[in-house]
Amino acid sequence: MLTNIKYKFKLFLFWAICLTTAFVSCKKEKGLGEDPYAGGKKPLDLTFISKTIEPDVVNAGDVLTVRVKGLSKYINDFKVYVNEIEAEVVTGSTNDTTLTFKVPLTASTGSMWITSQGQSFFGPIVKVGGKVSVDASWKVINGATNNNNNGFSLSTIYDIEALPGGNYFLGGAFNDFELNGTEKLPIGGIAQILGNGAYSTSGVNFGKGAGGADKSIYSITRIPTGSQAGKYIIGGSFTSFNSTRINRQTLNNVARLNTNGTLDSLILRDVINPKPQETYKNGDTVAAFNAGVDGFVRKTFVFNEQVYLVGNFNNYKRMYLPNSSYDEKVYDYTRMRQVVRVNMDGTMDSTFHYNKSTRQSAIGANGVILDAMMQNDGKLILVGTFSTFNGTQANRIVRLNLDGSVDNSFNAGSGANSDIISIRYNANTNKIVVGGTFTSFNGKAASGINLLNADGSNVTTFTGQPITGGITNFVGQLNNGKIIVSGSFNKYGDYLRQGFMVLEANGQLAVGYNNTGGFQGAIYDMVETTIATGSQVILVGDILRFNGTLPHNIIRLNFAN
């Protein structure tokens, strides 16, 4: 039997070889075995010998020399580029084996290459130094992560709040930070770091952090004065804080934390108890800040001991304690679209964005509110995808009076012709900077960036260049007037800028501040600290890569004077 199987296998193999030989022979007869690339251009005999640049970090304008082979044949027909910017060749010291060139003044970190006769030859990476650098002393190593392993685990940091002692609170969608979280005790969307970036639990106890819904904290605001001074308002998408028990999922996307990071709560006595045999249910512990909404909260603000909530919601919710039990909570609902103001006990302020005759809010925006800011006088400026607010024309930007009505004295005029994604205000410069997908603002050409006066009017001295290859999704002005811009773009005017750039207050690229290489991701917030040599800027967001580093969603940059 075994001999018969071996015979059949050999016979099958023989016929397979015969068929393959016949197929190949047929191919050859038809000429399909010929080189399909025959007749094309032959590669030039030009190569780089140098694998690195000396010194390791150079400055714009420096003269560099690299070793090459075979350049003399093309000495009158070649160009040199540093990260897509053409470099000036020093002809007197360039020959068959040596290439000398100047680093362009507008160059940034990236590869260098030679082009000749339509062919490109890539050389070593040129690391361009300048006035912006990644802070090597920053202690963040693994940063914000998410260990859910569900294939779509966000670890974005949405907000950073500076604390009086020099530490910072971070809020986001992560459940781990610096690999300190565990399955039993995750770091649920909130963490504390020291001034040098090191993770710290000193003085705080967040427990399991945010739970339920998206388990995300989008905004953290410290209460500066008043009866609740030193405590924090957090907003986002969550239904609990430091609890995974179903009957403790009683929060509605907003909460107040004590100074030590615990949930600000109060104990109730004589609670309705349908199960009197379970005597522990005669009492209950609930959030002291009895307020919530039925959608996510994007921004929180505090002014005059009142809390402003801005986001994507339709109703304000407040627990009705007299009818609530330990296991079942009853809520009162009031229709309040996108914006609501509440007192420190959580009661809604009906003098803001509310129509007492209809017992609900005004219409609000006819689109999505993507970002918001508060001016020193308590007035809110909202930006997003909308074209009207409360029925009044407001093209992607609107300022509200202290009663929630549209402030017609805001001089944004016709506003933006497309979405505004980001808005920030700098108190030092008294200017507002906006970024998004728009190409004009109040009749002025503006390619995704515009600088405004505090009254909403255009800063006439700011003239931006066209942004191509993507969009702007974050803008922020430094105290010295320079503007940080990030997004998915790859060019600003004729200059290569891969997702990150620094502009002067007039809209021109800041010389010496655009040396960094490629950026990938999105920035959501920044904090600037003045130091003796300039300033340090912490950026947070969904930051995947910056200048060859992997920031894990938080990075600190040094900006030299």
Beta bridge partners of 220: 234
Here the tokens at position 194 are 């020291």
Three-class SS of residue 305? coil
Please report the domains of the chain, with CATH numbers, ordered by start residue.
47-126 (2.60.40.10), 205-361 (no CATH)
For residue 513, how many other CB atoms are within 10 A of its CB? 19
Secondary element (H or E) of residue 123 = strand 119-129
Q: What sign does the CA torsion over 29, 35, 36, 41 have? A: negative
Secondary element (H or E) of residue 458 = none
Determine the residue type at 211. G
Three-class SS of residue 323? helix
Here the tokens at position 220 are 């953290």
Q: Give dist(CA 523, CA 473) in Å, integer.
A: 8
Q: Give dist(CA 294, CA 340) in Å, integer.
A: 12
pLDDT at 38: 54
Secondary element (H or E) of residue 339 = strand 339-343
Determine the residue type at 473. N
pLDDT at 140: 97
402 CB-contact burial (10 Å; exposed 0-12 / middle 13-18 / buried 19+): middle
In the block, which residue shows the tokens 């010291």?
Answer: 93
HSE-CB at 99 with a 13 A cutoff on CA atoms is 31
Contact 183, 163 (CB under 8 A): no
| Full-model pTM | 0.86
Here the tokens at position 501 are 């750039």
> Taking the chain (561 residues) in consecutive chunks of 10 residues, what is each chunk's mean pLDDT?
40 42 44 53 90 91 96 95 92 96 88 94 91 95 84 84 97 96 93 98 96 96 96 98 87 98 94 90 93 98 97 97 92 97 97 96 97 97 98 98 97 98 97 98 97 98 97 98 97 92 96 90 97 96 93 96 90
Determine the residue type at 119. Q
Write phi, then psi, for 349 (nearest 5 degrees).
-90, 105
Here the tokens at position 19 are 């068929």
Q: Give dist(CA 466, CA 81) in Å, integer.
A: 22
Could you tell me the strand order of the sheet in which 339-343 lies?
Answer: 296-303, 306-312, 339-343
Q: Give dist(CA 46, CA 92) in Å, integer.
A: 20
Q: What is the DSSP string of 474-529?
A: EEEE-TTS-EEEEES--EETTEE--SEEEE-TTSSBPTTS-----EEEEEEEEEEE
Three-class SS of residue 80? strand
228 CB-contact burial (10 Å; exposed 0-12 / middle 13-18 / buried 19+): buried
259 CB-contact burial (10 Å; exposed 0-12 / middle 13-18 / buried 19+): middle
For residue 122, how many other CB atoms are within 10 A of its CB? 11
For 220-233, give the secondary structure using H, E and C.
EEECCCCCCCCCEE
